[in-house]
Amino acid sequence: MTQETAQPLIVTCDAGGTMTDILVVDAAGRFSVGKASTTPQDESLGFWESLEDALGGWGVKLDGAGALKPLEASIYTGTTMLNTLLQRRGKRVGLIITKGFEDSFVVERGFQAVAGYSYADRLHTVTHVHNSPLVPRHLVKGATERIDLFGNVVIPLYEHEVRDAVTELIKAGVETIAILFLFSYINPAHEQSAARIARQTAKRMGREIPVFISSEISPTIRELARLNSVVIQAYAAEPVRAQLFHIEDRLERAGARNPLQTVLAYGGLAPVRYPRLYESVVSGPVGGLLGARYLGEVTGLNNLITADMGGTSFDVGLVTEGKIPLVREPEFARFIFNLPMVTINSIGAGAGTYIRLDPMTRRIILGPESAGAEPGPVCYDHGNEIPTVVDCDLILGMVNPDYYLGGKIKLNKEKALRRFREEIADPLGLNVYDAAQGVVRLINSLMRDQIRSLVLAKGYSTMDYTLIAFGGAGPMHMAGFTEGLALKGLATVPYAAAFSAFGCATVDYSHRYQRSTHLFVPAGAGPDVKASVAEGLTRAWRELEQKALAEMTAEGFDRASINLQQAAFVRYGGQLDDVEVFSPTSRMNTPADVDALIARFEDLYSRIYVSGARFPEAGFQILEVAAVATVPKVKPLIERRPLGAPTPPARARKGVRKIYRDGRWHDAQIFEMGELGPGNVIDGPAVIEASNTTLLVPERRRARFDEWGLIWVE
């Protein structure tokens, strides 16, 4: 594609712990991929370098002020907010809470005290350590008030206590104030009054302090998760906006006309000025799962396992019957959130994972820490002396030291070999190549166990799923971490390294609004009960829709373009988990409408589990409802191309390289991935290289390129 024909319409970015991947989409849905090292100190630097790499494939240069003028959407996902939490470098927050609950952060919930622990550590209470509170106890102030679970005012708000609390907090040097009162998700009046008083008091003191209330950030039941949500919005989300604004400014100077967007944890899309920015705390891994679902919709693959191996982590997700399950109270960075999030299981098993020996047992320990982008693996030769997984891949011949990032980074194979021998192989008394192969097998087994446990824990069988491997290291390890798994199919894509960025490009402009309810339909309920439930659902949906329309029209969307969907989270009476059910009607007007919603729930429940698991005799509970506002946008084009000959073209062949597997050296054919096309078949052992990823085809296996651009390893 030439500069005259290229029209970059969408830019999506996935800034991981090691690499920043960018995908640029044009008006026809065609896309180009760019890659660069992540720059944590200023993420706009890695973003810009990766963007230049992506546009370079189209001959577009960023040296002109109007280079990005055609751009309609720019989407950024990254780990800045999560790192702010992990490193405890957020804002100084003051908290005002219902009097008597000032120790909520100290007490926590039992699960949060062991969140992130291994199974063995969860068993032994001596290892259980509470989190250090994000808000120190002396910055937590109580205010007398009480609203009951029906929304009735039982004790009025003691306004003078709020004024005193705000005065003390400002004098203590807080930068933001968070407010949480019990049952504010039913009736927010007291929180709204406290916020007004806080702003007035701050103004009288000559200060302008941002104030956040839980009923606006997360109007849902479960106090600790709601408390975490509103405090993290104040503590971590607000500082992150500065990094995002910096990226947005660079885009504007290059001609971009629209604000920078970010992906939300449930798969929505919002501008970086979005008031609940904390919902983007884990935006990066979400993209891969969304991309797999879109790929499945196009190609007819309804059941997918996603396996994303990057430089820092290994993330696994499921798409079942074309649906991605949501978890309502996710845990990350040892915090529980009130935040609907697509279900992703992660472990510290990436290409940059550190390899050490236990000094007592002399057993190999993998991670969970990673070398990241700086200093990077030993082979980067940037100062790290601890071997990593990618150093082993290099030692074994899987990685081309002269073609890493298309040759932008020259890998020091000799140093990687020397440090791995000194730190791992010699202390174990092993041949350096056997030791490196052992490490690769070990990390592959950890990833395999993660896949198996996720699928089996849901009551499913891997035989019903196709696995899609991606991430920069995913194609190289996919044959290893799927060994022994009975799968319906195993595939990857040529743009595997930027697949999460690809997934972000498949997302429509979408916001989700949720609130708690207390609705119950007993078994055998009559028309009057169902009519009351219908009224409660309609009232809750109407409130959420008004908020949705106000926010999205303020973001510049025309009312006629906004599509609204209504949903209810339904469970059988007494169960702990519910299922999100989209309503067959926009309003519940009759008892028959409630029956239709329940019938849809039971049908979905039967497909997720089995029909024998249904339990209508317990009745039906609806403890939360949602409204989803969506505006469609252009997406990457997945074209179906005609199949060519099985024999790869001569220009794709790059020679032969020795790789070490199963205790001996093999002559592997080397191919350039970009020169291979639909219908080509490559027998192993072979290595298929691209500038941003490497696909290993072991002996007794073959790679087949299909008409949709998928690469099947069979």
Helices 189-204, 159-171: inter-axial angle, 10-degree rounding: 50
Region 300-322 average pLDDT: 90
Q: Residue type at 509?
A: Y
Question: What number of CA atoms fall less than 13 Å from residue 397's CA on the CB side?
Answer: 20
Q: What is the CA radius of gyration of the chain?
A: 27
Q: Return the pLDDT at 3.
A: 41
Region 273-293 average pLDDT: 86
Rounded to the nearest 5 degrees, what angle is found at the Cα of 373, between the Cα atoms of 371 and 375? 60
* Residue 475, CA distances (Å) to 495, 519, 696 in order: 10, 48, 7
* Residue 60, CA distances (Å) to 7, 52, 63 in order: 9, 8, 9
pLDDT top residue among 387 and 58: 387
| Distance (Å, whole) CA 661 – CA 87 | 40
Q: How confident is the model at residue 4 (pLDDT cuts 50, 70, 90)?
A: very low
Q: Return the pLDDT at 1.
A: 40
Q: Does pLDDT of 138 surpass 90? A: yes
Domains (range + CATH), the chain = 8-83+241-280 (3.30.420.40), 92-174+176-209 (no CATH), 510-631 (3.30.1490), 650-713 (no CATH)
Region 195-205 average pLDDT: 96
Q: For residue range 99-127, what is the model confidence (pLDDT) as tens digits?
A: 999 999 888 877 777 776 766 777 777 77
Q: For residue range 54-106, what is the model confidence (pLDDT) as tens digits?
A: 888 787 777 766 778 888 888 998 777 877 787 788 899 999 999 999 999 88
Region 359-382 average pLDDT: 87
Query: What is the pTM (predicted TM-score) of this model?
Result: 0.83
For the record, the structure tokens of 568 come out as 């209810």
Q: CB neighbours (10 Å) of residue 411? A: 23
Q: Which range (55-59, 285-289, 667-671) has the least confidence?
A: 55-59
Question: What number of CA atoms fall less than 13 Å from residue 336's CA on the CB side?
Answer: 19
Q: CB neighbours (10 Å) of residue 423? A: 18
Helices 474-481, 432-457: inter-axial angle, 10-degree rounding: 80
What 3-state DSSP class applies to 409? Answer: strand
pLDDT top residue among 259 and 345: 259
On whether the CB atoms of residues 70 and 43 are closer than 8 A, the answer is no
pLDDT top residue among 331 and 650: 650
Q: For residue range 602-649, what is the model confidence (pLDDT) as tens digits?
A: 998 887 777 788 899 999 999 999 999 999 887 888 889 999 999 999
Region 433-442 average pLDDT: 96
Q: Exposed/middle/buried for 150, CB within 10 Å: 0-12, 13-18, 19+?
A: exposed
What is the distance between the terminal CA atoms of the chain, rounded to a whole angstrom? 33
Mean pLDDT for all residues in the chain: 89
Q: What is the DSSP string of 384-412?
A: --S-BHHHHHHHTT-S-TT-BGGGTB---
Region 663-678 average pLDDT: 95
For the record, the structure tokens of 328 come out as 């309502």
| Distance (Å, whole) CA 588 – CA 199 | 39
Helix (H) or strand (E) holding 546: helix 527-554
Q: Does pLDDT of 313 surpass 90? A: no
Q: For residue range 509-564, what is the model confidence (pLDDT) as tens digits?
A: 888 898 889 899 999 999 999 999 999 999 999 999 999 999 899 888 899 999 99
On whether the CB atoms of residues 142 and 157 are closer than 8 A, the answer is no
| Distance (Å, whole) CA 97 – CA 101 | 7
Q: Return the pLDDT at 29.
A: 73
pLDDT top residue among 170 and 239: 170
Q: Return the pLDDT at 66.
A: 74
Question: What number of CA atoms fall less than 13 Å from residue 365's CA on the CB side?
Answer: 13
Q: Return the pLDDT at 64.
A: 62
On whether the CB atoms of residues 451 and 473 are closer than 8 A, the answer is no
